Structure 1
Amino acid sequence: MFLYQVLEQQIREQIESGQLAFGSRLPSVRALCQEQDLSKATVLNAYARLEAAGLIEARPKSGYFVSYTTRRLELPAESKPDMAPAFISLDQVLLDIMEQSAAFDIRPDGKWDEYNEPLRRCLARAARSQKGQEQQYYDEPAGLSGLRHQLVRRCADAGSMVQADDIVISGGCQHSLMLALMATTSPGDTVAVESPGFYGSLQLIEALGLQAVEVPSSPATGVSPDALELAMQHWPIKAVLLSPNFATPTGACMPDSHKQRVLSLIRSKDIALIEDDIYGDLTFGLQRPRSIHSYDQEMGASGLVLLCSSFSKSLSRDLRVGWILPGRYKDKVKRLKLVTQLASSQLTQQGVRMFLESGSYDRFLRKRRQQLAEQCQQLQDLLARLFPQATGCSKPLGGIALWLELPEHVDTLALYNQARKQGIIITPGSLFTSQQRYQNCLRIGFAQPWTQARVAALEEIAQLLTGE
């Protein structure tokens, strides 16, 4: 860690432990420089980061003061869905949210993040370098070779040692998940999913005529291996679909021991594990967590783990470039890709390849991870202050969203309709299950900065709840 990060962490711990009380004055910049033998730039940088996180505030001609309240929301309890196969039907609310481009934004403004400028330059360069004849040919079924070679390194960051030929480029992570489900199941089969779980996965299960078994999950550690084992003993599960790293909606991250145990379970039953790793790069730490796929290699590479991901959450939602490591289902996945997409855009793949090759993605991630960590902390502080009636809140260590639990009598679907009239978009908890559950919960994203307009939107929701 850099010196400013060490100082930031030290002050953060003093504030969160209560050693520095709300409203207390922090040492002056000069005093800290002398006391800890630090440069003025180091202290100012640490104070700026603490201020951005909402922990302290600068008062003109007075110095820096603690603005953080020590109230903390507790973690929600582990979910308790009914573990029985069921067909799924999602309602119109999800379509409305997507039409507003507000899946993770409470007050969408349509602005493109400034950090995407290097990506735009790479895409423009790819367009300029494309020859006329190239536009008349389809991409090869597995995707652009140069991009797949760059993705080998991205997989290595998650612990998977693969070759370019092991990778198939797709039209995004959702497309990868669809290919994985089509390759491993048939209509009427049963798929185990975490609960609450990603509504995109539930949509796919519904569209493919599959049944879902919802498995209890913790907002901190993800799906329960014990509950998954119980479900596998009672039902003829053909595939398991999980997001082990910073799953939406809770932001949970499975411990390595849980990942290994889940892998042992699916290997013992010889069934497929579809791993959605789209949020893995968005850790708040320096090293991203390992994928379950990486442990499969250590244990003998059964080929049962199909790893799916894309850049749409980490880099840009406009980039419909994903990939899948299909393992033993590789030939089937390639044929299914031809049926469902035929080919991917060579221009976009070339632009992404250039972006990765230049090192721009690594530089982008360093900034993005810091930004998300600060925005997540700011959101938790806002929720603790604005929602005194809240009964629980997840505390993700990565990803772009958290899970807020409100009193049981609250109907967040009704709240959605009220907020919608004010131009505010929330994501009700009932979208993350096929059962009548989580009506009192909300998924709230922190992918965007907490501008005055977004804070005002949270305040409006709090007032609507008070009025209820």
Structure 2
Amino acid sequence: MFSVGKVGLWVQIQKMLYFKVQIEAICNCYYDFCGNCTHMTEYRYEQLEQRLREQIRIGQLAAGERMPSVRQLSRDATLSKSTVLTAYARLEAEGLIEARPRSGYFVAAPAQSTSALTKPATSEPSIQPVPVSVGQVLVDIMEKGTAFDLLPPPPKPVHDSNEPLRRCLARALRRQSRLEQEYYDEPQGLLMLREQLSHRLAHGGSQVNASELVVTSGCQHALLLALMATTQPGDVVAIESPGFYGAFQLLEALGLQALELPCSVDTGISPDALALALQHWPVKALMLSPSYSTPTGACMPEASKLKILSLAKTHGVAIIEDDIYGELPFGLQRPRTLHSYDDSGSVLLCSSFSKCLSRDLRVGWIAPGKYLEKVKRLKVVTSLASSATAQQGASEYLADGAYDRYLRQRRQQFRRQCDQLQELIVEHLPMATACSYPQGGLALWLELPESVDTLQLFHLARQQGITITPGRLFTAQERYHHFLRLSFAQPWTQERQSALQSLGKMIANTI
């Protein structure tokens, strides 16, 4: 038995070893970041990751085979345990290996082949400004609460796995005095939240001070402020096609014209198409989602971001960047924002917690650059102030580190659910002709035979309690009638699988 003194010494040694491992992990994961340089040094965990990836690719490590233990690999390769764990975590995020409780790491089985489905071709919208009319369908979808689900929410609350968030919000509400409830929050939002947000934006490469941020009532509110600050009624706004239906709603409400640009389901907006459009039309603003845009899940390459930013600077065009899906890559590292490359203040970065954390937590933000003073005034006009309680709770949640832990779980969950959806499409919707293969976000873009009108299918599906999102919602033109956006935001329960199977039967009956 240890004496009390020896036990205390042993505890101290364990703490020292723990902090040593944490420091090693930070050092092994550190990237030397410079705004003028995109080179990244290859570190030891990357070398190990590449070696193991190649062994899996050529079959040297077969599906289902147990990976070497962290201790064994650390000893054999003369690497720290934190280096091995980092390499394993990155391979797990890619879906190449999987951790099994109390058993170790194993090579993941390859996903069911979806080779029968090609990718949708680059879109070909008519490149000319048009007024916008969204229609009633979107209102019907929102009334059902099914914008990212085939089925309406259950009548009884389900277990909430994000208990830390609930506790933070509850504590914020309990601590608020009656005197605080009698006053509005400052227009820019709670300082402690803006400080936390400035740290989060650094994950995407953006260097923004708390004084340069404005808290909003969700991302849609941030996009509204950005459009109001950069345009006047009648102006032309360039936008992705297919693009976010909420953006088209805003253009309609503000009396703006939409100039839709061709997009790839892999790489997003075509810089060449933008260059051509800028030669012919007086574009005032460009709205886009470089990271995992809805509905396609496209992620823009860094070279395209730089080219688009250069074009916008040359023509004096403001860029409104919707980064709401940027925190949802299937891997460990999120893409850089387009905003992170901007040194002129012409990019207005907008986002919120609604897609990553909670739809009900209406806390968003905007980094408006040179439009800061305009946006502050418009915030007062459109919403006066934001909920101090929600801001305090969100700020505490970020400060505790709970958000990063939650994101790691959600990213892996969404990757699995996306893979499962692609398998279910092959099984239950064999008539589908093409499908996007996103590497992040919450949705994919499905192409059906041209004889299928998904707007008519929407009304037919509603009669059976199923809600779909027709392709026509993602444009101001008469296009995408035979497309669907399908989301993998929810687990594929038996009920949802049955709904997808029923949808497949409805489509088969219309062909």
TM-score (norm 2): 0.80
Unaligned runs of 5+ in 1: 21-25, 56-63
Corresponding position: 1:84 with 2:128: yes
Seen in structure 2, the aligned counterparts of structure 1 residues 255 and 69 have a Cα distance that, compared at 3 Å, is closer
- Mapped to 2, the partners of 1:414 and 1:89 lie a distance apart of 18
- Mapped to 2, the partners of 1:179 and 1:346 lie a distance apart of 20
**Aligned-CA RMSD value:** 2.9
Question: Identity rate of aligned residues, in percent?
Answer: 56
Corresponding position: 1:233 with 2:275: no
Structure 2 match to 1:144: 190
User: What CA deviation, in whole Å up to 9, does each residue of 1:7-65 have, x standing for no partner?
Assistant: 997898689xxx99xxxxx76xxxx45xx5559xx9xx99xx99x99x9xxxxxxxx99
Q: What is the letter of the counterpart of residue 103 of structure 1?
A: A
1:271 Cα deviation after fit: 1.6
Structure 1 match to 2:477: 435
Aligned-partner SS, 2:292: strand
Structure 2 match to 1:23: none
User: What CA deviation, in whole Å up to 9, does each residue of 1:414-458 have, x standing for no partner?
Assistant: 111111111011000000001110000000000000000011111
Q: How does 1:261-340 map onto structure 2 within 5 Å?
A: 261-296=307-342, 301-340=343-382
Q: What is the letter of the counterpart of residue 141 of structure 2?
A: I
User: What CA deviation, in whole Å up to 9, does each residue of 1:85-128 have, x standing for no partner?
Assistant: 11011111110000000001012334556332111110001011
Q: What is the letter of the counterpart of residue 157 of structure 1?
A: H
Structure 2 match to 1:412: 454
Q: Is the 8 A contact 1:251 1:402 kept in 2?
A: yes
Aligned-partner SS, 1:188: coil
Corresponding position: 1:105 with 2:149: yes
- Mapped to 1, the partners of 2:490 and 2:137 lie a distance apart of 22
Structure 1 match to 2:493: 451
Q: What is the letter of the counterpart of residue 274 of structure 1?
A: I
- Mapped to 1, the partners of 2:159 and 2:270 lie a distance apart of 36
Q: How does 1:26-425 map onto structure 2 within 5 Å?
A: 32-33=65-66, 37-38=68-69, 68-69=112-113, 71-110=115-154, 111=157, 114-296=160-342, 301-425=343-467
Q: What is the letter of the counterpart of residue 306 of structure 1?
A: L
- Mapped to 2, the partners of 1:94 and 1:338 lie a distance apart of 28
Unaligned runs of 5+ in 2: 1-44, 74-87, 99-107
Name segments (4+ residues, structure 1) moved above 6 Å.
5-12, 64-67
1:411 Cα deviation after fit: 0.4
Aligned-partner SS, 1:91: coil
Q: What is the letter of the counterpart of residue 472 of structure 2?
A: S
Seen in structure 2, the aligned counterparts of structure 1 residues 400 and 206 have a Cα distance that, compared at 3 Å, is same
- Mapped to 1, the partners of 2:361 and 2:292 lie a distance apart of 21
User: What CA deviation, in whole Å up to 9, does each residue of 1:259-283 have, x standing for no partner?
Assistant: 1110001000112000000000011
1:72 Cα deviation after fit: 4.1
Q: What is the letter of the counterpart of residue 91 of structure 1?
A: G
TM-score (norm 1): 0.87
Q: What is the letter of the counterpart of residue 156 of structure 1?
A: A
Q: What is the letter of the counterpart of residue 455 of structure 1?
A: Q
Aligned-partner SS, 1:103: coil
Q: Is the 8 A contact 1:71 1:384 kept in 2?
A: no
- Mapped to 2, the partners of 1:163 and 1:127 lie a distance apart of 27
Aligned-partner SS, 1:382: helix
Aligned-partner SS, 1:376: helix
- Mapped to 1, the partners of 2:370 and 2:385 lie a distance apart of 22
Q: Is the 8 A contact 1:157 1:288 kept in 2?
A: yes
- Mapped to 2, the partners of 1:76 and 1:167 lie a distance apart of 38
Higher relative contact order (CA 8 A, sep 6+): 1
Aligned-partner SS, 1:444: strand
- Mapped to 1, the partners of 2:160 and 2:333 lie a distance apart of 24
User: What is the aligned length?
Assistant: 436
**Structure of greater Rg:** 2
User: What CA deviation, in whole Å up to 9, does each residue of 1:327-376 have, x standing for no partner?
Assistant: 11100100000000000000000000000000000000000000001001
- Mapped to 1, the partners of 2:338 and 2:110 lie a distance apart of 41
Aligned-partner SS, 1:253: coil
